[in-house]
Structure 1
Amino acid sequence: MDTLAQLRAGQLTGITRLDLACGLTEFPREIFDLADSLEVLNLSGNALSRLPDDLHRLTRLRVLFCSDNLFTELPACLGQCTALTMIGFKANAIETVPAAALPPLLRWLILTDNRLSELPAELGQRPHLQKLMLAGNRLQRLPESLSQCHRLELIRIAANQLTELPEWLLTLPSLTWLAYAGNPLETEADAAALDATASIAWSELRLEQQLGEGASGVIHRAAWEQPGQPATQVAVKLYKGEMTSDGSPLHEMNACITAGLHPNLIRVEGRIVGHPEEQAGLVMQLIDPSYRNLAGLPSLASCTRDVYADGTRFSAHVALRMARAIASVAEHLHHQGITHGDLYGHNILCNEHGNCLLGDFGAASFHATCDSLESRALQRIEVRAFGVLLGELLERIDSGLSDERRLQLEALQQRCCQPQVLARPGFSEIGQALAAFN
């Protein structure tokens, strides 16, 4: 983190990224001294409510973060920043987005956890728009102009007031990751599955080391000490109460439970009851430490694409084993009326043998289990996510795949990603196709 003193002393000349979180109430004019180099500006965690009208003087500015501030309107000056592609104003109090606030090269817009009830039609006139984060607002509809955004791949509209998914949304040719939970339109979770989940007393759990922390909660290793039985090693996830970019953490918990049992899902042992602070939580299967995330999160540059470690390579046997497993678990979830919404390599745990587990239900949404055009389209949107993943695996196969087999797999991958949503194969057909590659 940089300091205001460093900025004012001229010690940051030439930097490309500036991070300032020091209780700012006014935009420091000294930032303009960095105009020749500054590309990423992070002013999150301050008390700002406006930006200067001449912000466009930062001619190289590509990324601007102003989350956790006091803005009530997206500043109109952003629209004059000709190089700006990514805007993040999460957790403010924004009620209005003027059309003038949308820069021409806008690619990634984050307005999670604000007070928006509508969006300008001009949003659909941003042809580079690829990622749109709107969870936790008051939206009752989306501008129909978004149907023109043929590059839009990820949209988060969970926890709003939408009563229907517009037909045009389900036909967007590039839409791949969709989260819409917590709206009136959503099908209810399976109440019987939720009621049947075992209750595990907090007093039976002894937390050990922390294993990880995400936007929705914290995971610990724990000993589960049931009366009259030896202690069992488990994982405990305690959910946070705040809105995440995907939606509500408690909705994620319900999706984990409703997903049920599958060899490629992390098993849920039960729901925690009796926490002293009434915190919601789940007790889950403890994953062997040999499992690692298949990929890393998307970067500012990659936007919607995972980042794989340099040198990541697979044999055809391992890659195909993972592909078959993920197709199988996705088909299982769809039968339960769940779309995962975040089918990505960074949400897959795997080991060197190709054994894998799909996790992170933060973007999961419920849909009707009966066959309809809407449920079919929702499932085929997720098929495109699988197609992206299959392509990433194919790029990294270094042995054991003949040219003929590669061409066949590439053809399957292209069918999964074709622009006509309902023409894509379902996961049952995908599974059958992959089964032929033994």
Structure 2
Amino acid sequence: MHTLQQLQNGELAGIKRLDLSCGLREFPAEIFNLADSLEILNLSGNALSTLPDDLPRLHKLRVIFCSDNLFTHVPEVLGKCTQLQMIGFKANQIQHLPAAALPPALRWLILTDNQLRELPDALGNCTHLEKLMLAGNQLSALPDSLAGLQQLALLRISANQFTELPDWLFQLPRLAWLAYAGNPVSRRSHFPSCDTVAWDDLQLGELLGEGASGKIYQAQWRDNQPVAVKLYKGSVTSDGLPSCELAACVTVGAHPQLMPSLGIIADHPEATAGLIMPMIATHYINLAAPPSLESCTRDVYAPDIQFSLTSALLMASRLASAVQHLHECGLTHGDLYAHNVLWDGVDDVLLGDFGAATLSDDVRAQRLEVLAFAHLFAELLERTVDTDKCVLAAAWQLQQQCAQTDMTQRPLFAAIAAQLTELCQLCASHTGHN
């Protein structure tokens, strides 16, 4: 994090990213001294309610974050910033998104946790838009113009007021990650009963990790049993409501490739929602890192990571089985990504993070998730080092079936899992003959 004094003293000349959170009520004019270099501007965590009319002077600006401020509308001046691709105004008081505020190059729009009741038709003109995050607003409909968003891959509309989803939504050719829990359309009347864990029975230890929705700690429970504890940061996450994630974790039941939960925290002194999970062996690592500002909707893998074809097929098969189980439980994961997969370094995988999961039996949503799997499967196949051309060709053929533009032509996960089982057997038989 930078300081206002550094900025005013000219110590930040030439930087490409500025992070400034110091109770600002006005936009510091000294930021314009960075106009020839600044690409990413992060003013989150201040008390701003306006941006200057001459903001386009920052002619290289590609990304702006103004989360946790006091904006009541998205500033129209943003639409004049021709290089701007990413806008983040999470957790403000925004009631209005003006059409004029939408820049022509927009790829990623974050308006989570605000007070929007409607969206402008002009949003459908943002033909480069790939990622649209609107959880935690008061929306009950999407403009039909959004049917023109042919590049849209990820949509978060959880915790709004939708009673139905438009048919055109499921015709978007690239939509793969959809979260809509916490809406009337996704409600189910009964959730399975679950164990609760008294807060006083836990001894919190070191911080293990932190994501957009919460922090995960090591803890001791019951006769020093080691567990992991996830504590949610607020009432609305980037994906939706903590209560929806907890309901999904309770509903999912047991599967060898799903990270299990042990219970839900009760009686936290600050009423913080929390989840208890078993500790995972330390040799498991995230299969990939989350999307970057540049990749937008695609995960970032270590540059040297490689898999044998056998391992890639086994991982894909196990993940397909896990998602099939979710769908049979009436759940869609909503965030089927490699960064939500723990990997043992060989071929065992665990799928976790149910923050975007939706309790729904809608087969259309399940077919959207097939496209997400197609992307993950392709990422595995692209990093294989084997040359069994027959098996690899068959694997790519299955991947292409899952990636079809017409979602009605995509196979469901029962068929995908069955085909992957056959491919694993075929690969093993070929390996045995070598």
Give the TM-score category using the shorter length: over 0.9
Q: Mapping of 1:390-401 within 5 angstroms?
A: 390-399=377-386, 401=387
2:202 equivalent to 1:216: no
Q: After superposition, what is the alpha-carbon deviation per residue over 1:230-260, rounded to whole angstroms, capped at 9, x for unaligned?
A: 5432222233333111001121111111011
Deviates more, 1:253-262 or 1:19-28: 19-28
Query: How many angstroms apart in 2 are the aligned matches of 1:165 and 1:214?
Result: 28
The match for 2:203 among 192, 202, 206 is 206
1-side partners of 2:234 and 2:18: how far apart?
30
* Displacement after TM superposition at 1:212 (Å): 2.0
Contact kept? 1:98, 1:120, Cα under 8 Å: yes
Equivalent pair of 2:246/2:264 in contact (CA under 8 Å): no
Pick aligned residue for 2:233 from 227, 240, 245? 240
Q: How many residues align?
A: 424
Q: Which residue of 2 aligns with 1:382?
A: 369
Contact 2:207 2:218 in 1 (8 A): yes
Query: Structure 2: which 5+ runs fail to align?
Result: 426-434
CA contact (8 A) 1:156 1:178 kept: yes
Q: For structure 1, which segment, 178-187 or 341-350, has the greater mean C-alpha deviation from structure 2 after superposition?
A: 178-187
**TM-aligned CA distance change 1:19 to 1:275, over 3 Å:** closer
**Distance in 2, Cα, partners of 1:367 & 1:246:** 16
The Cα offsets for residues 1-43 of structure 1, whole Å up to 9 and x where unpaired, read as 2222222222222211111112111111222222111111111
Equivalent residue, structure 1, for 2:154: 154
Aligned to 2:170: 170
Mapping for residues 114-133 of structure 1, pairs under 5 Å: 114-133=114-133
- Equivalences for 1:282-431 in 2 at 5 Å? 282-368=275-361, 375-399=362-386, 401-431=387-417
Identical aligned pairs, as a percentage?
Answer: 57
Equivalent of 1:261, from 245, 254, 259? 254
Q: Measure, in 1, the Cα distance between the counterparts of 2:421 and 2:363.
A: 23
Give the Cα–Cα distance (whole angstroms) in 1 for the partners of residues 272 and 81 of structure 2.
Answer: 43
1:275 and 1:88 map into 2 onto residues whose CA distance is 31
Q: 1:269 to 1:11 in 2, by over 3 A?
A: closer
What TM-score, normalized by structure 1, do the two folds share?
A: 0.94
The alignment's TM-score, normalised by the length of structure 2, stands at 0.94
Report the alpha carbon displacement of residue 105 of structure 1 after superposing the two structures with TM: 0.7
Is the 1:216–1:242 Cα contact (8 Å) retained in structure 2?
Answer: no
* Equivalent position amino acid for 2:215 in 1: V
Residue 3 of structure 1 aligns to which amino acid in structure 2? T
Q: For 2:357 and 2:325, how far apart are their aligned partners in 1?
A: 14
Shift of 1:405: 1.6
How many angstroms does 1:283 deviate by?
A: 2.4
Q: Which letter does structure 1 place at the counterpart of 2:350?
A: L
What's the offset of the Cα at 1:190?
A: 4.2
Whichever residue aligns with residue 298 of structure 1, its letter is P
Q: Deviations over 1:182-214 (max 9, x none)?
A: 1111131642x2x2x223333433333332222
Distance 1:402 1:190, change over 3 A: farther
Cα gap change, 1:56 to 1:382, in 2 (>3 Å) = same
Q: State the secondary structure of the residue aligned to 2:18.
A: strand
2:148 and 2:93 map into 1 onto residues whose CA distance is: 28
- Could you say which residue in structure 2 is the equivalent of 1:372? none
Aligned equivalents of 1:291, 1:234: Cα separation in 2: 16
Q: Distance in 1 between matches of 2:197 and 2:90?
A: 35
Partner SS state of residue 186, structure 2: coil
Cα RMSD over matched residues?
1.5
Would the aligned equivalents of 1:190 and 1:258 in 2 still touch at CA under 8 Å? Answer: no
Structure 1 residues 34 and 189: CA distance shift in structure 2, 3 A:
farther
Give the CA deviation at 1:409.
1.2
Offset at 1:215? 2.7
Measure, in 2, the Cα distance between the counterparts of 1:325 and 1:189: 31
Distance change >3 Å, CA 158–CA 317, structure 1 → 2: same
SS at match of 1:37: coil
Supply the distance in 2 between the matched residues of 1:203 and 1:41 (Cα, whole angstroms): 42
Q: Which runs of 5+ in 1 are unaligned?
A: 369-374
Q: 2 CA distance for matches of 1:322 and 1:202? A: 36
Query: Residue 167 of structure 2: SS of its match in structure 1?
Result: coil
Q: CA deviation at 1:115?
A: 0.7
- 1: distance between equivalents of 2:360 and 2:316? 24
Cα distance in 2 for residues equivalent to 1:248 and 1:232 = 29
Which range moved further: 309-318 or 338-347? 309-318
Counterpart in 2 of 1:36?
36
Moved more, 332-341 or 202-211: 202-211
